[in-house]
Amino acid sequence: MNQNNATQYKYLNATGHLDYNMTNDYMFRMVLQRDKATLSALICSVLGLENDEVLDVQIENTIEPGSAIDNKEYQLDILVILNNHAYINLEMQVINYNNWPERSLSYLCRRFDNVTRGKDYSTVKPVYHIGFLDFTLFEDHPEFFARYQLRNAADNYLYTAKFNLFVIELNHTDMARPEDKKQKVDTWAKLFKATTWEEIKMITKDNPSMNSTAETIFLSNSDYAIREQCRVREDNIAHEKYQKECLEKLTKENEDLTKEIYNLAKEKDTLAEENNTLAEENNTLAEENNTLAEENARLLALLKEKGITAEKFGQKEEI
Q: Please indicate, yes or no, if residue 124 is contained in any of the structural domains.
A: yes
Q: Please indicate, yes or no, if residue 117 is contained in any of the structural domains.
A: yes
Q: How far apart are CA 254 and CA 260, in angstroms?
A: 10
Same domain, residue pair 57 and 170: yes
Q: What is the pLDDT of residue 4?
A: 63
Residues 6+ apart with CB under 8 A from 104: 91, 129, 131, 165, 167
Of 222, 254, 277, which one is at a domain's C-terminal end? 222
Q: Please indicate, yes or no, if residue 99 is contained in any of the structural domains.
A: yes
Question: 3-class SS at 115?
Answer: coil
Same domain, residue pair 147 and 203: yes
Q: What is the pLDDT of residue 1?
A: 44
Q: Please indicate, yes or no, if residue 277 is contained in any of the structural domains.
A: yes
Q: What is the pLDDT of residue 195?
A: 95
pTM of the predicted model, to two decimals?
Answer: 0.75
Q: How far apart are the first and last CA of the chain?
A: 140
Same domain, residue pair 144 and 284: no
Same domain, residue pair 261 and 175: no
Return the higher-pLDDT residue of 57 and 74. Answer: 57
Same domain, residue pair 299 and 193: no
pLDDT > 80? residue 9? no
pLDDT > 80? residue 217? yes
Q: Please indicate, yes or no, if residue 239 is contained in any of the structural domains.
A: no
Same domain, residue pair 129 and 177: yes
Same domain, residue pair 151 and 214: yes
- Give the total number of structural domains in the chain: 2
Instruction: Determine contact, residues 30/226, Cβ cutoff 8 Å.
Output: yes
Q: How far apart are CA 57 and CA 90, in angstroms?
A: 13
| pLDDT per residue as tens digits for the range 80-136 | 999 999 999 999 999 898 999 999 999 999 999 999 899 999 999 999 999 999 999
Return the higher-pLDDT residue of 241 and 315. Answer: 241
Q: How far apart are CA 239 and CA 257, in angstroms?
A: 26
| pLDDT per residue as tens digits for the range 133-149 | 999 999 999 999 999 99
Range of the domain at 277: 245-319
Q: Please indicate, yes or no, if residue 307 is contained in any of the structural domains.
A: yes
Q: Please indicate, yes or no, if residue 230 is contained in any of the structural domains.
A: no
Same domain, residue pair 59 and 145: yes
Same domain, residue pair 32 and 180: yes
Measured CA distances, 104 to 127, 135, 207, 318 (Å): 12, 15, 31, 99
Q: Please indicate, yes or no, if residue 238 is contained in any of the structural domains.
A: no
Q: In this structure, what are the phi and psi dihedrals at residue 137, rounded to the nearest 5 degrees?
A: -70, -50
Q: What is the pLDDT of residue 241?
A: 76
Q: How far apart are CA 233 and CA 92, in angstroms?
A: 12
Same domain, residue pair 252 and 175: no
Q: What is the pLDDT of residue 74?
A: 47
Of 188, 222, 256, which one is at a domain's C-terminal end? 222
Same domain, residue pair 179 and 265: no
Same domain, residue pair 214 and 130: yes
Q: How far apart are CA 94 and CA 114, in angstroms?
A: 29
